[in-house]
Amino acid sequence: MPNKQEYIQKAEQEFYKTYNRYPVIFDHGDGVFLYDTEGEEYLDFGAGIAVMGLGYNDKQYNEAVKAQVDKLLHTSNLFYNVPSIEAGEKLLTASCMDKVFFTNSGTEAIEGAL
């Protein structure tokens, strides 16, 4: 297994330099913690820059994702699918709103809010 510096050197050869990266190689997560390839523990305050705020390694979530991967990962909003219908129903129940709009970008979210 490569060491940290070898991983970083390989990434620098393969990735466009669009922004600076911290010299940490994350390997896995558990709960609210991330662990690097050297075994160091980090409290995850960034949640993948707010895309994965559910934590890591939750057994119920993992099993649901694994089951869904075998069925259907993604379809366009141009089509109906059972998971989005069920999610919409749950969201409406929790929010007491009349309709829900699922979006895939910040622009659509802002337009929907307006």
Using CA atoms, how far residue 93 sits from 11, 49, 60, 96, 98, in Å, is 45, 28, 22, 6, 9
Q: How far apart are CA 48 and CA 51, in angstroms?
A: 5
The structure's pTM equals 0.65
Q: Which residues pair with 34 in a beta bridge?
A: 29, 42
Cβ count within 10 A of residue 34: 20
Tens digits of residue pLDDT in 37-94:
999 999 988 776 766 677 888 899 899 999 999 988 877 777 888 888 999 999 999 9
Tell me which of 14-23, 33-42, 83-92, 96-105 is least confident.
Answer: 96-105
* Token pair belonging to 100: 């829900």
Report the DSSP pairing between strands 41-43 and 26-30. unpaired
Q: Which residue has the higher pLDDT, 62 or 1?
A: 62
What is the Cα–Cα distance from 96 to 14, expressed in whole angstroms? 48
**What is the domain partition of the chain in residue ranges?**
72-114
Residue 14 pairs in a beta bridge with none
Contacts of 32 (CB under 8 A, 6+ apart): 43, 44, 55, 56
Instruction: Name the residue with higher pLDDT: 12 or 114.
Output: 12
